[in-house]
Structure 1
Amino acid sequence: MTSLSDFPITRSWPPLHPERLQLYAYPTPNGVKISMMLEEIGLPYDAYLVGFDKSGEEGKNFTATFPNNKIPAIIDPNGPDGKPMALFESGAIMLYLAEKTGTKLMLEGAARWQVIQWIMWRMAGLGPMFGQFGFFHLYAGTRVEDPIPRERYRLEAERLLKVLDGQLEGREWVVGDYSLADISIAPWVDAFVKYYKGHEKVDWASLRNVPAYLERFRAIPAYQRSLNIPPVPEK
């Protein structure tokens, strides 16, 4: 690919500023963490709202560019070797942008690997398990009569919250200093409480550190902005 017009997605979402990074997202926990990261590092970007229903020509163009057909995704017009590059998966996008910009939010030395470790923990555990919890306790999964999957994901969500709670003991942030680990993890904790009402299903009262951690994170201006990036039209 030598220009943005080579990517099928640009037929449905024409670039507003072709020289800027192009973000395709929806303000879910996965989408929010990329817009928040971009807000924090100050890299110019344009954001395009991509809904859950990717049918029709828009859906075909999105999938032709990003095979997993999930948000968030980006096109960097100034990718490796100066060539445009499309990238999906929020964890990969975070690490790519961190390497591209050298952001201090990755921390340094051994702490850098701690940040990567907790980003991977969110990708492999917290995000998928919280998502399954929401499905079985709030959405279509509630129609499943077998209680085993519902309880399975409730227990795993509770376990993961206790892991996070233990890591936060004596710390304000996951790796001590505010970092990309927090931007990766905290939006999912917020969604677990705000949208899934998960705190009503787990032993939330026993958590010594997570509730205060969540309130600290919610107060960050970049997070408050990212909750409406890209803007969702009012119904």
Structure 2
Amino acid sequence: MELIRVKDYEEMSAKACELVKELMNTVQSPVLGLATGSTPEGLYEKLIHTYENGAISFSNTKTFNLDEYVGLTKEDPNSYHYYMTEKLFKHVDLKEGNAHLPDGAAEDKSQACEDYERLIKSAGAIDLQLLGLGMNGHIGFNEPGTDFKSRTHIVTLDESTRQANARFFNSMDEVPTEAITMGIQSIMEARRVVLLVSGEKKAEALASLVNGEVTETFPASILQQHSDAVIIADEGACSQLR
């Protein structure tokens, strides 16, 4: 793993944008793995700005998001489909058919998982997979105890994860209890992984990732074994590193 220490959230977002821009201008038909939540919002703002300045184009890009809540339609403001549309997709020249997220509203959830895994494989390897770091070590929605060999699957969300995401909903009761997520093996097959970590609240988790052992009780620890994993972390997040 490579650890890039930056001053703050702004610099973290800018450095991540540099890495994505470099890939998009090097690979003819890039495949991006995307994440949601508050951490990548600054990156998406910078990618939009970079696109508006003519420095990148999404016209030949395919995207695959890590996860989606079960039970929410694409139009639901709390769905990750809606998030990605608002935060990135509608602002750039990404073709509608090239943006992929799991179908959280599918009647047959197991089939939706198989279909999504098939879509990823049909695109070839993901060139760059963005990740955030959960305070319990989850990546995507792969909670502690997830098999490292897992592929796209249904997960029951940990209570701490639901509480962390409750700020996006009107009440805790509205937070879904399940999600579809790319599995850990699916994530590890990306050519490059870029993990964004910001703030002191993530410091303990980052220290566990960097200094701890590789264990399924802390899913992000598997990134220690990735051939090209880059962590971009600000001063707050790095505050507990040895």
**TM-score, length-normalised on structure 2?**
0.30
Query: Greater CA radius of gyration, 1 or 2?
Result: 1
- Between Structure 1 and Structure 2, the one with more helix by share is 1
